[in-house]
């Protein structure tokens, strides 16, 4: 559940912090006061994309933070993403004035996908837009899969589906290549032979270039190494003088610890210089001063550079890949029919396997369709639709998709005697809101969510229906935290906690603020929701009655 929400420098909010509790909470306020801004902030904390335009002050960064209380079964999401688990987890997101965004979970930087994976496992926001999206068949299928707990089956299906697509693409690419003509084969074989005889090795060019620099400067290198060696090793040279310094200081070493340390440091330098002297001597002998070696390296480099220019490549590794590609072209051309036949056989076997997984998915979806239908109709009746008909129609598509071969359609009729049709053809705004509430009510148990947020999902309903919707939300809040942004007094009166969102003005700026209402404040706010801005004795009386029910 959500414990605390902190918002700084976001949209109309300069700074705001609100503590939430268990049970049923409502947020009310005039249109445009900033209620949905808080839900937008939560959406950003769930991984939604951000932009610079959402900042209150464009010169400062935005900070969004939420503390969520998690049950131990959520540890799997943290383990999957290599994060330390805490029952009280802090989610933070920072959006800079340049538009860049950073996200953190318990102070560990994370990507937006990780943010979404973890936060969406415990919080879900149901909005008016989602009600509209329920008209799409894709969303309907997603909803049914949630009810059917199809996630594991879909993952198994996708493994085979990806393999199936790879095979299809391979066959298509082989067909596009076609068979090469004799002249094309001859030229390709010539290029293959040239590259093969070149005995290409990855990294060879870089190594040769390094050798070339040394060989080209070998005389100068040998001369400078020799001079340096002499300076170190000759009589009365650096090593000799350093030994004398060490001997003189050795006589003082027992006088103090610092003097002894100094002797040890000088000794260490002398030993290091002796090693350098030996290394110089070895290097002088190893440096190749042979002009023939320089010629061999130079010719090999010229040859490699010529091949790179000829084939328009930048590295030897690319030439190696080109050689493999040429070999494949020759082989594909020679064994064209044979390869196509082999790939087609593999594709048919993969298609059979894919059909098996698809059938399992279909069976799983159909197994819950009937109970889902009954539950939706039952709850729609509770929400005031006397004779609802809700059907889940599952038909087979002609080809495979990324989630099976099923086409899902929700068919609905709110009136007795009317044939159920697709939701987008028959459902009004109020009916969509009730459908969405039914779906979220049924999904909440399957998704194991601890917080449900409804953003004006009650749009298009009023009176008795609003009262019925509030009872359903109240019932849901017995098992999990429920937050609802609402304009309806019937829903506001059923809440355990009531916040009012309002706008204030200071320094020529409008700012959204929030306050938790006591009983007196709730009566006044609900009275205002009943009668408008002008509060009457009747609306006060009605507000008290609603709260007492």
Q: What is the pLDDT of residues 455-514, one digit of tens each?
A: 887 777 777 888 888 888 898 888 889 999 988 899 999 999 999 999 988 878 888 999
The pLDDT value recorded for residue 77 is 85
Buried b (16+ CB within 10 A) or exposed e, 273-289: beeebeebeeebeeeee
For residue 205, give every residue at least 6 positions away whose Cβ sits within 8 Å of its Cβ, in sequence order, or none.
301, 304, 305, 315, 316
d(CA 444, CA 451): 9
Ramachandran quadrant class, 178 (left: phi over 0; alpha: psi -120 to 50; beta: rest): left
The larger pLDDT score, comparing residue 438 to residue 338, is at: 438
Only one residue has tokens 């700084």, namely 8
Q: Whole-angstrom Cα distance, residue 212 to residue 462?
A: 86
pLDDT band for position 374 (cuts 50, 70, 90)? very high
Q: Cα angle at 425 between 420 and 429, to 5 degrees? A: 105
The answer as to CATH 3.40.50.300 being correct for domain 1-131+449-517 is yes
372-378, Cβ contacts within 8 angstroms, sequence gap of 24 or more: 372/144, 372/147, 372/442, 375/438, 375/442, 376/435, 376/438, 376/439, 376/442
Tell me the domain boundaries of the chain. Answer: 1-131+449-517, 204-314
Judged against a pLDDT cut of 70, whether residue 447 lies above it is answered with no
Neighbouring C-beta atoms of residue 359, cutoff 10 Å: 13
Residue 176's CB: how many other CB atoms inside 10 A? 7
Separation of alpha carbons 141 and 231, rounded Å: 84
> Cα dihedral angle (488, 493, 498, 500), rounded to 10 degrees?
40
Decide: helix, strand or coil at residue 405. strand
For residue 114, give both structure tokens.
């990780």
Angle of helix 257-286 relative to helix 238-250, nearest 10 degrees, comes to 160
Q: Are 393 and 384 in contact (CB under 8 A)?
A: no
Task: Please determine, for residue 416, whether its predicted confidence score (pLDDT) is greater than 90.
Answer: no
Residue 516: which residues within 8 A CB-CB, separation 6 or more?
18, 497, 498, 499
Stretch 441-446: mean pLDDT = 76
Which two structure tokens, joined as six digits, stand for 241? 């003088």
Beta bridge partners of 92: 65, 104
**What's CA 454's distance to the chain center, in Å?**
24
Rounded Cα gap, residues 344 and 168, in angstroms: 9
Task: List CB contacts of 263: < 8 A, sequence separation 6 or more.
Answer: 246, 249, 250, 252, 253
The half-sphere exposure of 226 on its side-chain side, counting CA atoms within 13 A, is 9
pLDDT digits (tens, 9 = 90+) for 11-50: 888 899 999 999 999 999 888 888 888 888 998 998 887 7
Least confident window among 124-128, 272-276, 503-507: 124-128
Query: 132 pLDDT exceeds 60?
Result: no
pTM of the model: 0.61
H-run or E-run covering 34 = none
3-state DSSP assignment of residue 212: helix
**Nearest CA-CA partner of 150 in 353, 403, 503:** 403
């Amino acid at each position: 559940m959500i414990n605390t929400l902190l918002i700084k420098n976001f949209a109309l909010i300069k700074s705001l912090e609100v503590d939430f509790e268990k049970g049923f909470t409502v947020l009310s306020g005039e249109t445009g006061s900033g209620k949905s801004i808080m839900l937008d902030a939560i959406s950003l904390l769930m991984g939604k994309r951000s932009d610079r335009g959402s900042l209150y002050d464009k010169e400062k960064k935005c900070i969004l933070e939420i503390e969520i209380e998690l049950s131990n079964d959520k540890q799997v999401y943290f383990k999957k993403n290599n994060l330390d688990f805490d029952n009280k987890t802090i989610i933070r997101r920072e959006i800079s004035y340049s538009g860049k965004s950073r996200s953190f979970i318990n102070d560990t930087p994370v990507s937006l996908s990780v943010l979404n994976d973890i936060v969406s496992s415990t919080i879900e926001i149901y909005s008016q837009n989602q009600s509209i999206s329920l008209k799409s068949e894709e969303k309907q299928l997603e909803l049914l899969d949630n009810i059917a707990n199809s996630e594991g089956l879909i993952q198994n299906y996708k493994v085979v589906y990806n393999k199936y697509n790879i095979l299809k693409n391979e066959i298509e690419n082989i067909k596009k290549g076609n068979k090469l003509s004799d002249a094309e084969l001859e030229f390709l074989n010539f290029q293959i032979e040239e590259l093969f005889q070149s005995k290409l090795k990855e990294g060879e060019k870089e190594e040769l270039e390094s050798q070339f620099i040394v060989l080209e400067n070998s005389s100068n290198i040998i001369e400078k190494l020799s001079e340096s060696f002499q300076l170190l090793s000759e009589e009365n040279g650096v090593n000799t003088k350093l030994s004398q310094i060490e001997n003189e200081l050795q006589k003082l070493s027992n006088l103090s610890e610092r003097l002894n340390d100094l002797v040890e440091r000088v000794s260490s330098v002398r030993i290091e210089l002796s090693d350098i002297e030996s290394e110089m001597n070895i290097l002088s002998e190893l440096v190749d001063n042979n002009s023939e070696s320089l010629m061999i390296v130079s010719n090999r480099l010229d040859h490699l550079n010529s091949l790179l220019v000829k084939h328009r490549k930048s590295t030897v590794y690319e030439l190696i890949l080109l050689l493999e590609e040429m070999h494949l072209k020759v082989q594909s051309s020679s064994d064209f029919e044979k390869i196509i036949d082999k790939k087609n056989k593999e594709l048919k076997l993969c298609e059979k396997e894919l059909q098996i997984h698809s059938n399992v998915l279909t069976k799983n979806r159909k197994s819950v369709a009937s109970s889902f239908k009954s539950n939706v109709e039952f709850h729609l009746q509770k929400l005031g639709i006397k004779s609802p008909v809700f059907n889940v129609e599952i038909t087979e598509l002609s080809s495979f998709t990324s989630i099976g071969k099923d086409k899902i359609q929700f068919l609905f009729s709110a009136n007795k005697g009317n044939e159920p049709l697709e939701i987008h053809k028959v459902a009004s705004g109020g009916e969509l809101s009730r459908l969405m509430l039914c779906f979220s009510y049924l999904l909440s148990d399957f998704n194991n969510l601890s917080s449900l947020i409804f953003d004006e999902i009650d749009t298009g309903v009023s009176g008795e229906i609003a009262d019925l919707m509030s009872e359903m939300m109240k019932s849901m809040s017995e098992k999990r935290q429920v937050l609802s942004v609402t304009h309806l007094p019937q829903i506001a009166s059923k809440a355990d906690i009531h916040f009012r969102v309002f706008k204030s003005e200071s320094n020529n700026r409008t700012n959204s603020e929030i306050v938790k209402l006591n009983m007196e404040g709730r009566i006044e706010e609900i009275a205002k929701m009943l009668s408008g801005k002008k509060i009457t004795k009747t609306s006060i009386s009605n507000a008290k009655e609603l709260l007492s029910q």
